[in-house]
Amino acid sequence: MSALGMVAVLSGCSGSSDADSQDVTLKLVAADYGDSKANSSQKYWDKLVKEYEKKHPGIKIDVSVHSWNDVDAKVKKMVADGHAPDMAQIGAYADYAAKNQLYKVDELLSIPVQADFVSRLAEAGEVRRVQYGMPFASSTRLLFYNKKLFADAGLTPPQSWSDLAAAAKVLKSRGVKIPYALPLGHEEAQAETMMWLLSGGGGYVDGVSSYGLDSEQNVDTFDWLKNELVAKGLTGPTAPGKLNRADAFAAFTRGDVGMLNGHPSLMQAAAKKGVKFGMVPMPGINGKSKATMGVADWMMAFKQNGHAEQVGDFLDFVYSEKNVLEFSHTYDLLPVTARASEAMAADKNDKRLDPFLKELSNAELYPVAKTSWAQVSADIKQQIGKAVSPNASPTAILGQLQRSAAAAENSE
């Protein structure tokens, strides 16, 4: 595990008596991982805060939970208005780090807690080799397939692009509505895109960490998607650019989809609807993809109000093995610390998450350390679906996205 920032400011060491001796209210704005009021993240935080405040009577934690549709904008407005929260658990940290608005992680956490982060995730929280973002939740992606549809058709899970296309062709011939769901709609097109780019040997950035959206590998990947899947009617009746991830997942739980890329929460949704499914690593051109996509959400602490000592003490508690595991179990997500990951791997009740855990060490994350990523991601969501439309050119669309990305990067 990567012990980043070993020259640490230890004011945030867990159990600090000074942290207990001051009357302080810390404000945390957090994202909601639940899909209803019954499993809202507010319940998780309320329970955790109650336990913490019982042991630290001088500190109050005020947590407000907002949907993913609103939480990033909520924090952005609070900061712009001069009322930054003490902590925010949201989707990106780099913009705030670039403006020197965040504490460094080694100004907050005790060394054992900081060193316990999964190294792949901790590194993704760095800007110029300094960690500002603390991973809070993570997941990887696997290819889900409908076991009944595959068994009825005498198919085996695909291991390569040609296997996937051949299976989709058979499923189509048997009347399956969506042989392969390709959600390139505005909701989360950047995720489906990245999975395919990685499986084709490319990605969002080149070897020197500059954007490389129009690389030869990426163009070849979208040429293949357009010609071998979309043009042959293997992605269903809805144009990929108009298909959102949530709709694709819902169709899978209805039994209308043969294959699609999914994250751990899809397991529970499919099981509730009685859909029997299997999961395999994302196929590559000639075999298993060399890398899979990982996603992390972030905790960060703003400097505006001070309270580094109290914030650090609370976050040490948040990142205890017990609390990390409880959150991961509640929302079918992967732990962000080594100890919790090892505990999950050893627990027979967590076997369903083993395939996702195994992919985490090989996962590639979004280029979240770039302040330009938010804009580039938004552009991809808006434009990438056009790359597989009948009259469009993948080369032209990816070229346009690359020019915009390079301009955004140069303005960082």
User: Do 133 and 198 reside in the same domain of the chain?
Assistant: no
CA–CA distances in Å: residue 33 to residues 41, 45, 65, 134, 138: 6, 11, 9, 17, 12
Domain containing residue 167? 142-281+372-410
Average pLDDT for the chain = 91
Domain membership flag for residue 287: no
Q: What is the pLDDT of residues 197-208, one digit of tens each?
A: 999 999 999 877
**Phi, psi at residue 58, to the nearest 5°?**
-90, 0
| Stretch 173-189: mean pLDDT | 96
- pLDDT band, very low/low/confident/very high, at 3 (cuts 50, 70, 90): very low
Q: Both tokens of residue 26?
A: 């810390």
Q: pTM of the prediction?
A: 0.85
**Mean pLDDT, to the nearest integer, of 255-277?**
95
Residue 12 pLDDT greater than 80, yes or no: no
Lowest mean pLDDT among 2-11, 98-107, 115-124: 2-11
| 222 part of a folded domain | yes
Residues 30 and 124 in one domain: yes
Regarding whether 177 and 74 lie in a shared domain, the answer is no
What is the DSSP track for 136-183? EEEEE-EEEEEHHHHHHTT-----BHHHHHHHHHHHHHTT-SEEE---
3-state percent helix, strand, coil for the chain, nearest multiple of 5: 50, 20, 35
Can you tell me the mean pLDDT for 82-99? 95
Are residues 28 and 130 both part of a single domain?
yes
Residues above pLDDT 70, as percent of the chain = 95
pLDDT value at 58 more than 60: yes
* Averaged pLDDT, 352-361: 88
More confident residue, 287 or 240: 240
Considering its fold, how many domains does the chain have in total? Answer: 2
Residue 290 lies in a domain: no
Same domain, 206 and 83: no
Question: 407: which residues sit within 8 A by CB, 6+ positions away?
Answer: none
- Range with the largest mean pLDDT of 15-19, 88-92, 315-319: 315-319
Strands annotated E in 148-283 = 178-180, 257-262, 277-280
Read off the tokens for 391.
């009259």
Looking at the fold, whether 247 and 150 belong to one and the same domain comes out as yes
Residue 317: which pLDDT band, with cuts at 50, 70 and 90? very high
Residue 93 lies in a domain: yes
Would the pLDDT of 155 be above 80?
A: yes
What pLDDT, in 10s, does the model give residues 30-46? 999 987 788 899 999 99
Q: What is the b/e burial string over 87-109, where b = at least 16 CB atoms within 10 angstroms of the residue's CB?
A: bbbbbbbbbbbbeebbbbbbbbb
In a domain, 2, yes or no: no
Do 17 and 105 sit in the same domain of this protein?
yes
In angstroms, how far is CA 187 from the centroid of its own chain? Answer: 13
> Which residues partner with 130 through β-bridges?
127
Task: Specify whether the CB–CB gap between 140 and 334 falls below 8 A.
Answer: yes
- Read off the CATH number of the domain in which 332 is found: 3.40.190.10
Residue 293: Cβ within 10 Å count = 27
DSSP code of 39?
G
